[in-house]
Amino acid sequence: MLKTRFPNPGAMELGDPYRTVVGVVLSARTRDEQVLRLLPGLFAAFPTMEDLSVATVAEIDKRISTIGMYHQKAKHLSQLAKLCVERHGGLVPSTMGELVELPGVGRKTASVVLACCFGTPSIAVDTHVHRVTNRLGWVKTKMPQQTETALLKIVPTKVMRLTNQVFVKLGRYVCLPGKPRCWMCPVQKDCAFKKQNLVAPKDADEVVADIARREDSLEKQRLAVAYGKHRS
């Protein structure tokens, strides 16, 4: 049901491990739209992990300066690329243990890469996934890593990849932190949240249309990055 409502892949599922890991690292505490806007220029300048590994932090800075914490993220990308070249032959590693050793890569980033690039059963848990699954009553946890552990025990392997995709979108557009839009939630009847907001606002049609527009725009940006002419 949720995949039908939100059919698009995650915004940082960018077609290969290199693009995906870079995109997810840059997306930390940053809107996906901002990251997708700068990525074509970044990948045009540094088409491969080897190219990124020899770039200076200052050169990377210039390409990502439109997002928050860009200098720290530039350092992480520089170090990450060097480690991938030195230890993994210029490739992004394919195990959780190796991925989390890379600068700027935590379990959430690693899980996105594992699920969408290597087909490894994993669930990336961010604040959206943590909030939504607790409200639904799937888990009762206080921290995202606890949520990840709990979800890995109850979500069927064949749909683990979809968990992050659909719950991030549900959390971003519908199950908002403050006043959720339960009136438009496709799983409202199966939700354990006690303070459901079932009254649709006067501008409900505009809200729904805006969500569709944002999703369409994100998908066009994602496809441009994943399959753009700059791709080597």
Q: What is the 3-state secondary structure (H, E, C) of 49-92?
A: HHHHHHCCHHHHHHHHCCCCCHHHHHHHHHHHHHHHHHHHCCCC
Alpha helices in 155-203 (DSSP H): 160-173
Q: What is the predicted pLDDT for the residue at 232? A: 43
Q: Is 179 tagged catalytic? A: no
pLDDT level of residue 228 (50, 70, 90 thresholds): confident
> Is 126 an active-site residue?
yes
- Bigger pLDDT: 8 vs 231: 8
Instruction: Report d(CA 228, CA 232) in Å as an integer.
Output: 9
User: Residue 231 is encoded by which pair of tokens?
Assistant: 């791709």
Dig out the tokens for 178 from the structure.
């403050």
pTM to 2 decimal places = 0.93
The end-to-end CA distance of the chain, in Å, is 37
| Residue in 32, 73, 108, 169 annotated catalytic | 108
Average of per-residue pLDDT across 137-156: 96
Identify residue 70 by its one-letter amino acid code: Y
Per-residue pLDDT, averaged over 189-206, amounts to 96
pLDDT, mean of residues 82-92: 97
Among the listed residues 32, 73, 126, 169, the single catalytic one is: 126
In the block, tokens 């996906």 appear at: 32
Taking the CA atoms of the chain, what radius of gyration do you get in angstroms?
A: 18
Q: How many residues does the chain have?
A: 232
Sketch out the chain's domains with CATH numbers.
2-227 (1.10.340.30)
